Amino acid sequence: MNEDEIEAATVTALAGQANGDDGPFSIGQTVWPGISKLIEECGELQQVMGKLVATGGRREHWSGDDLSVRLTEEMADVFAALDFVLEHNDLNPKRLTRRMAAKRRLFEAWHAVTARTVTPSG
C-alpha cells in the first residue's frame, strides 16, 4: 500500500468512530461544529513546536520523532480543522483569504528586514 492508500484506509476506519454523542463545538454538532477539534489540533501543533524549541531547532527528538515530519503533519491537521470550521460555520472565505494574504505580506516584509540586519554570531 502506498502512502495515499494508507491515509485513505485510515480515514475510512476513523470515520466509523463517529457516534454523534459529542457536545457542542464538536464535529457533527450544530453549535460551532469543529471548534473543539481546531483547539485540539492547535494544541498538538504547539506541542511539536515546543519540542523544536527544546531541541534547539534540531529535527531529531529524544523520543525518536523526526520533528520536521511531525510539524508538517500537525500543520496539515490545523489547516484541515481550519478549513472545516470555515466551511461549516457560515464564515466568510473571501474575508479570510484577503486577511491571510495581507498578513502573509506583512510577515514577508518583517522577514526581509530582519534578514538584512541580522549578523551571524560567532
Q: Would you say 22 or 44 has its CB closer to Mg ion?
A: 44
Binds Mg ion (CB under 5 A): choice among 29, 32, 42, 44: 44
The footprint of Mg ion on this chain (CB under 5 A) covers a number of residues equal to: 3
Enter the C-alpha cell of residue 38.
Answer: 481546531
Does residue number 22 form part of the binding site for Mg ion (CB under 5 A)? no
- Of 36-44, 51-59, 96-104, 114-122, the window that binds Mg ion (rule: CB under 5 A) is 36-44
Does residue number 77 form part of the binding site for Mg ion (CB under 5 A)? yes
Enter the C-alpha cell of residue 47.
Answer: 506541542
Taking each helix axis from N to C end, the angle separating 67-88 and 35-54, rounded to the nearest 10 degrees, works out to: 160
- Of 10-18, 71-79, 88-96, 107-115, the window that binds Mg ion (rule: CB under 5 A) is 71-79
- Of 34-42, 64-72, 82-90, 98-106, the window that binds Mg ion (rule: CB under 5 A) is 34-42
| Residue 67: strand, helix, or coil | helix
Burial state string for 32-65 with b = 16 or more CB within 10 A and e = fewer than 16? ebbbbbbeebeeebeebeebbeeeeeeeeeeeee
Q: Would you say 6 or 101 has its CB closer to Mg ion?
A: 6
